[in-house]
Chains A and B, each alone.
Chain A
Amino acid sequence: MDKMLGKKSYIAVFVLPALLIFVSFVMIPLLISGTYSLFEYDGIGKMRFLGLQNYIDMFTTDRYFPKAVVNSIVLVVASLFIQLPVSLVLALVLAHGVKGEKFFRTVYFVPVVISSMVIGQLWMKIFHSEYGLLNILISAITGSTFDYSWLSNSKTAFLSTVIPAVWQYIGYHMLIFYAGIKSISTEYYEAAQIDGATKWQTNMKITLPLLTPVIKTCVIFSITGSLRAFDLIYVMTGGGPNHASEVPATLMYNNLFRRGLYGYGSAQAFFIVIECLLFTFIISRIFRKSEENASAI
Chain B
Amino acid sequence: MKNKVVKRILSAVLAAALVVSLAACGSSGKTEDTKTDSTSNNTPDTENGSTEPSTDEKITLNVWHQWSNDTNELKKLYDAAAGEYMEQNPNIIINTQTLDTEAYKTKISAEFTGTASGIDVFYYWGAGTAKKLVNADKLLPLDDYITDEIKAKLLPGSTGAFIYDGKTYSLPSFSWYMTLFCNQELFDQAGAALPTTYDEMLAASQKLSQLEGVTPIAAGAKDGWNAAFVYQALAMREVGAENVNKMLKGEIPFGEDSGYKTAAEKVLELYKAGAFGKNPLESGNDDANSAFITGKAAMRIMGSWFANQVYTDDTATVNPEKVVALKIPMITGKGNESDYCGGFIESFWVNKNTKYADEAAKFAIYINEQMGKAAYETGTGFCGWNVDLDESKLNPLFVQIKDLAGAGQTSVLAWDTSLDANPATIHNEQVQTLFAPDADVDAFIGEHEAAINQ
Complexed CA–CA distance, A151 and B432 (Å): 14
B136 pairs with A261, CB closer than 8 A: no
B113 to chain A: which residues have CB within 8 Å? Answer: 43-44
B184 to chain A: which residues have CB within 8 Å? Answer: none
B5 to chain A, nearest CB (A): 12
**A-binding segment of B187-195, B203-211, B278-286:** B278-286
Please report which residues of chain B, range 397-450, place their CB below 8 angstroms from some CB of chain A when the two chains form the complex.
420-422, 425, 429, 432-433, 436, 438
B282 pairs with A240, CB closer than 8 A: no
Complexed CA–CA distance, A94 and B305 (Å): 57
Complexed CA–CA distance, A261 and B110 (Å): 13
Q: Which of A16, A44, A257 contacts B138 (CB 8 A)?
A: A44
Task: Judge whether A45 is part of the interface by a CB distance below 8 angstroms.
Answer: yes
Interface residues on B, range: 20 to 34
A152 pairs with B279, CB closer than 8 A: yes
Task: Judge whether B80 is part of the interface by a CB distance below 8 angstroms.
Answer: no
Task: Judge whether A129 is part of the interface by a CB distance below 8 angstroms.
Answer: yes
Task: Judge whether B12 is part of the interface by a CB distance below 8 angstroms.
Answer: yes
A240 pairs with B136, CB closer than 8 A: no
Task: Using CB atoms, name the residue of chain A closest to B436.
Answer: A241
A154 pairs with B422, CB closer than 8 A: no
B11 pairs with A4, CB closer than 8 A: yes
A260 pairs with B421, CB closer than 8 A: yes
B132 to chain A: which residues have CB within 8 Å? Answer: 42, 44-45, 260
B106 to chain A: which residues have CB within 8 Å? Answer: 257
A230 to chain B, nearest CB (A): 16
B15 pairs with A14, CB closer than 8 A: yes
B420 to chain A: which residues have CB within 8 Å? Answer: 260
Task: Using CB atoms, name the residue of chain B closest to A21.
Answer: B22
Complexed CA–CA distance, A148 and B282 (Å): 11
B281 pairs with A45, CB closer than 8 A: no
Task: Judge whether A202 is part of the interface by a CB distance below 8 angstroms.
Answer: no
Please report which residues of chain B, range 125-142, place their CB below 8 angstroms from some CB of chain A when the two chains form the complex.
132-133, 135-136, 138
A149 to chain B: which residues have CB within 8 Å? Answer: 278-279, 281-282
Interface size on A, residues (CB 8 A): 32
Task: Judge whether B59 is part of the interface by a CB distance below 8 angstroms.
Answer: no
Complexed CA–CA distance, A259 and B422 (Å): 4
Residue from the set B15, B22, B222, B279 with the largest chain A CB neighbour count within 10 Å: B279
Indicate whether A240 sits within 8 Å of B429 (C-beta atoms), given known contacts A44-B136, A152-B282, A258-B421: yes
A241 pairs with B281, CB closer than 8 A: yes
Task: Judge whether A105 is part of the interface by a CB distance below 8 angstroms.
Answer: no
A228 to chain B: which residues have CB within 8 Å? Answer: none
Q: Count contacts between A and B, CB distance < 8 Å.
A: 79
Complexed CA–CA distance, A257 and B222 (Å): 18
Complexed CA–CA distance, A154 and B109 (Å): 33
Complexed CA–CA distance, A10 and B135 (Å): 53
Task: Judge whether A121 is part of the interface by a CB distance below 8 angstroms.
Answer: no
Interface SS of chain A: loop
Interface SS of chain B: helix
Task: Using CB atoms, name the residue of chain B closest to A261.
Answer: B422
Indicate whether A258 sits within 8 Å of B425 (C-beta atoms), given known contacts A16-B15, A44-B136: yes
B58 to chain A, nearest CB (A): 31
Complexed CA–CA distance, A16 and B21 (Å): 13
A53 to chain B: which residues have CB within 8 Å? Answer: none
Please report which residues of chain A, range 209-261, place their CB below 8 angstroms from some CB of chain B when the two chains form the complex.
240-243, 254, 257-261
Task: Using CB atoms, name the residue of chain A closest to B282.
Answer: A152
Complexed CA–CA distance, A241 and B227 (Å): 12
Task: Judge whether A114 is part of the interface by a CB distance below 8 angstroms.
Answer: no
Complexed CA–CA distance, A13 and B14 (Å): 10
B31 to chain A, nearest CB (A): 18
Q: Which of B135, B278, B421 contacts A259 (CB 8 A)?
A: B421
Task: Judge whether A17 is part of the interface by a CB distance below 8 angstroms.
Answer: yes
Task: Judge whether A20 is part of the interface by a CB distance below 8 angstroms.
Answer: yes
A242 pairs with B432, CB closer than 8 A: yes
Chain A, residues 2-28, CB within 8 Å of chain B (1/0): the string is: 001000001001101100110010000
Complexed CA–CA distance, A242 and B435 (Å): 10
B85 to chain A, nearest CB (A): 29
Complexed CA–CA distance, A259 and B419 (Å): 11
Indicate whether A17 sits within 8 Å of B436 (C-beta atoms), given known contacts A43-B113, A261-B422: no
Task: Judge whether B150 is part of the interface by a CB distance below 8 angstroms.
Answer: no
Task: Judge whether A147 is part of the interface by a CB distance below 8 angstroms.
Answer: yes
B155 to chain A: which residues have CB within 8 Å? Answer: none
Please report which residues of chain B, range 223-237, place their CB below 8 angstroms from some CB of chain A when the two chains form the complex.
none
A46 to chain B: which residues have CB within 8 Å? Answer: 136
B362 to chain A, nearest CB (A): 26
Complexed CA–CA distance, A10 and B278 (Å): 68
Residue from the set A24, A258, A261 with the largest chain B CB neighbour count within 10 Å: A258
Complexed CA–CA distance, A104 and B279 (Å): 38
A153 to chain B, nearest CB (A): 7
Indicate whether A152 sits within 8 Å of B22 (C-beta atoms), given known contacts A13-B12, A240-B429: no
A129 pairs with B421, CB closer than 8 A: no
A4 to chain B: which residues have CB within 8 Å? Answer: 7-8, 11
Complexed CA–CA distance, A4 and B438 (Å): 70
Task: Judge whether B112 is part of the interface by a CB distance below 8 angstroms.
Answer: yes
Please report which residues of chain B, range 261-302, place their CB below 8 angstroms from some CB of chain A when the two chains form the complex.
278-282
Task: Judge whether B9 is part of the interface by a CB distance below 8 angstroms.
Answer: no
Complexed CA–CA distance, A79 and B11 (Å): 43
A151 to chain B: which residues have CB within 8 Å? Answer: 282
Please report which residues of chain A, range 135-186, place their CB below 8 angstroms from some CB of chain B when the two chains form the complex.
147, 149, 151-154
Task: Judge whether B387 is part of the interface by a CB distance below 8 angstroms.
Answer: no
Complexed CA–CA distance, A46 and B110 (Å): 15
B421 pairs with A240, CB closer than 8 A: no
Task: Judge whether A128 is part of the interface by a CB distance below 8 angstroms.
Answer: yes
B297 to chain A, nearest CB (A): 14
Complexed CA–CA distance, A57 and B106 (Å): 26
Minimum-distance CB pairs A-B, first 8: A152-B281, A149-B279, A260-B421, A17-B18, A259-B422, A45-B136, A13-B15, A242-B433
Q: A45-B136, A128-B282, A254-B425 are in contact. List 20 more A-B contacts (CB 8 A).
A: A4-B8, A16-B19, A17-B15, A20-B22, A24-B26, A42-B421, A43-B109, A44-B109, A46-B136, A147-B278, A152-B222, A240-B281, A241-B436, A242-B432, A243-B429, A257-B106, A258-B421, A259-B421, A260-B132, A260-B421
Instruction: Give A contacts to B, CB under 8 Å.
Output: 4, 10, 13-14, 16-17, 20-21, 24, 42-46, 128-129, 147, 149, 151-154, 240-243, 254, 257-261
Query: Can you list 24 A-B contacts with CB-CB less than 8 angstroms, sorted by A residue number?
Result: A4-B8, A13-B15, A17-B18, A17-B19, A24-B26, A44-B109, A45-B132, A128-B282, A129-B279, A152-B280, A152-B281, A152-B436, A153-B436, A240-B281, A240-B429, A241-B436, A242-B433, A242-B436, A257-B106, A259-B422, A260-B109, A260-B420, A260-B422, A261-B422
